[in-house]
Amino acid sequence: MNDSPNIATARAVRDSSRADPVPSDDVLLAQFARGDDRAAKELAARHLPRVLSVAVRVLGDRAEAEDVAQEALLRLWRIAPDWEPDRAKVSTWLYRVAMNLCIDRKRRARGGTVDIDAVPEPMDPAPGAPEAMQAKARQAALDAALQALPDRQRQAVVLRHIEGLANPQIAEIMGLGVEAVESLTARGKRGLKAALAGRRGELGFDDDQA
Amino acid sequence: MTKHELTDAELERMLADLRLDTGPDDLMARVLADAAAEQPKTAHIIPLAVRRRAPRRFAGQLRAQLGGWAGLGGLAAACAAGVWIGFAPPQGLPDPAELMSLADSEIEYMDTQLLAAIEAESLAEDG
């Protein structure tokens, strides 16, 4: 049976008083809607880094990703009074909003076509550079390869292998079945391997292991 | 896997290294400013118990104006008495149903002496 938002929110607040030292996201959201500004800080601390991380890897642009993360959280504040705890997890809802915002920005930016030339080239490791330089080069190469993937494959790979989410949650975020998510992830990884093939040494891996 | 291709484990390790664990402080500040701006609009939410009672507020005010439950009880009793008197008037009071059957013009021109004469005549006939 589905409760009304008010009943579900009242239940969430009631449950919060029952010896739960770490309030759930639902409880925090209900507290925010009732005027508790500390709840906003806790919710932002929990979710902002994750939403930003996903947006950075999906968009490949830090400034745009920050805008997306801010917009996703803004939508959370606005929906707080009508939040239905039983319908979705806050994290899943936020990821889904962020993914949709990323898709919108990608579409607008390229006008319906994939602009592979816009993907930044991986950095050349400077001679004698320490490990940090190699790590940066590795990240840049992987970022570039990620940006060259089709949108849905990139989203699935980011959510699965960078954020470490389970396939059922990714399926919910992307509005797909679990099998479709598995297929997208597998194809995405094959695409990344193909894009990075022949660069094992550059990426810091020993060729003899291959 | 071709010789120069990454293994699954290598690729997954690289991907995991891309995870960002902290957001910049200024972004956090922007997000919390948004929250503060949105919160006043939502902080006035009426608690569930109060919201359920809201439609009764007018009825409650009316009841208070009329003197509470005691006042309403007296009012109801007075109304019932009025209705009863209308149907069964006590002796000495004119029956409103009979009055209604008389034409207004007749009542208008009857004086008290004429009424007394009619009454005396009817008593004599009965007697």
The per-residue pLDDT for range A43-54, each reduced to its tens digit, is 999 999 999 999
Question: In this predicted structure, what is the pLDDT of residue A123?
Answer: 41
Contacts of A199 in chain B (CB under 8 A): 4
Q: Select the more confidently predicted residue: B105 or A137.
A: A137
Asked whether the beta carbons of residue B15 and residue A162 sit closer than 8 angstroms, the reply is: yes
Question: In this predicted structure, what is the pLDDT of residue B98?
Answer: 67
Judged against a pLDDT cut of 60, whether residue A207 lies above it is answered with: no
- Tell me: do A159 and A124 sit in the same domain: yes
Rg of the Cα atoms in chain A: 20
- Tell me: do A33 and A73 sit in the same domain: yes
Looking at A42, A77, A111, the residue that finishes a domain is A111
- Closest chain A CA to residue B48: A6
- Tell me: do A105 and A137 sit in the same domain: no
A5 confidence band (pLDDT: 50, 70, 90):
low
B127 confidence band (pLDDT: 50, 70, 90):
low
Contacts of A139 in chain B (CB under 8 A): 14, 17-18
A77 contacts chain B (CB < 8 A): yes
Contacts of B18 in chain A (CB under 8 A): 57, 139, 142-143, 162
Judged against a pLDDT cut of 70, whether residue A19 lies above it is answered with: no
* CATH code assigned at A166: 1.10.10.10
Contact criterion met (CB below 8 Å) for A174 and A99: yes
Report how far residue A82's alpha carbon sits from residue A150's, in angstroms, rounded to the nearest whole number: 35
Judged against a pLDDT cut of 50, whether residue A24 lies above it is answered with: yes
Token couple for A167 = 């396939």
B107 confidence band (pLDDT: 50, 70, 90):
low
A21 contacts chain B (CB < 8 A): no
Looking at A86, A111, A136, the residue that finishes a domain is A111
Q: Which residues contact A14 (CB under 8 A, 6 or more apart)?
A: none
- Tell me: do A47 and A139 sit in the same domain: no
Number of separate domains in chain A? 2
pLDDT tens column, A82-127: 998 888 899 999 999 999 999 999 888 777 554 444 444 444 444 4
- Tell me: do A100 and A193 sit in the same domain: no
Q: Which of B12, B14, B30 to mutate to test the interface with A (most CBs of A within 10 A)?
A: B14
Token couple for A201 = 């040494």
- Closest chain A CA to residue B5: A197
Contact criterion met (CB below 8 Å) for A151 and B7: no
A143 contacts chain B (CB < 8 A): yes
Q: Select the more confidently predicted residue: B107 or A74.
A: A74
Asked whether the beta carbons of residue A78 and residue B2 sit closer than 8 angstroms, the reply is: no
Looking at A56, A90, A111, the residue that finishes a domain is A111
- Tell me: do A127 and A95 sit in the same domain: no
Q: Which domain holds residue A196?
A: 120-210
Question: In this predicted structure, what is the pLDDT of residue A28?
Answer: 94
Write out the H or E segment, with its range, that includes residue B1: none
Q: Give B47's DSSP letter.
A: P
- Tell me: do A17 and A36 sit in the same domain: yes
- C-alpha A177: how far from its chain's center? 18
- C-alpha A150: how far from its chain's center? 16
Q: Which residues contact B54 (CB under 8 A, 6 or more apart)?
A: B46
- Tell me: do A105 and A138 sit in the same domain: no
- Residue B41, min C-alpha distance to chain A (Å): 9
Q: Is A92 exposed, middle or buried (0-12, 13-18, 19+ CB in 10 A)?
A: middle
Contacts of B8 in chain A (CB under 8 A): 189
- Tell me: do A164 and A60 sit in the same domain: no
Judged against a pLDDT cut of 60, whether residue B47 lies above it is answered with: no
Question: In this predicted structure, what is the pLDDT of residue B68?
Answer: 73
Judged against a pLDDT cut of 80, whether residue B99 lies above it is answered with: no
Once rounded to an integer, what is the mean pLDDT over residues A55-74? 93
Average pLDDT score over chain B: 71
- Tell me: do A41 and A63 sit in the same domain: yes
Rg of the Cα atoms in chain B: 44
Place of tokens 């006590």: B90
Contact criterion met (CB below 8 Å) for A142 and A192: yes
- Tell me: do A94 and A198 sit in the same domain: no
Report how far residue A152's alpha carbon sits from residue A142's, in angstroms, rounded to the nearest whole number: 17
- Tell me: do A6 and A104 sit in the same domain: yes
B88 confidence band (pLDDT: 50, 70, 90):
confident
A65 confidence band (pLDDT: 50, 70, 90):
very high
pLDDT tens column, A129-177: 456 667 788 888 898 999 999 999 999 999 999 999 999 999 999 999 9
What residues of chain A, 164 to 183, have a C-beta less than 8 Å from chain B?
164
Place of tokens 């739960």: A20
Q: Select the more confidently predicted residue: A198 or B56.
A: A198
Contact criterion met (CB below 8 Å) for B14 and A142: yes
DSSP string, chain A: -PPPHHHHHHHHHHHHTTT-SS--HHHHHHHHHTT-HHHHHHHHHHHHHHHHHHHHHHHS-HHHHHHHHHHHHHHHHHHGGG--TTT--HHHHHHHHHHHHHHHHHHHHHTTS--GGGSPPPPPPPTT--HHHHHHHHHHHHHHHHHHS-HHHHHHHIIIIIS---HHHHHHHHT--HHHHHHHHHHHHHHHHHHHTT-TTTTT--GGG-
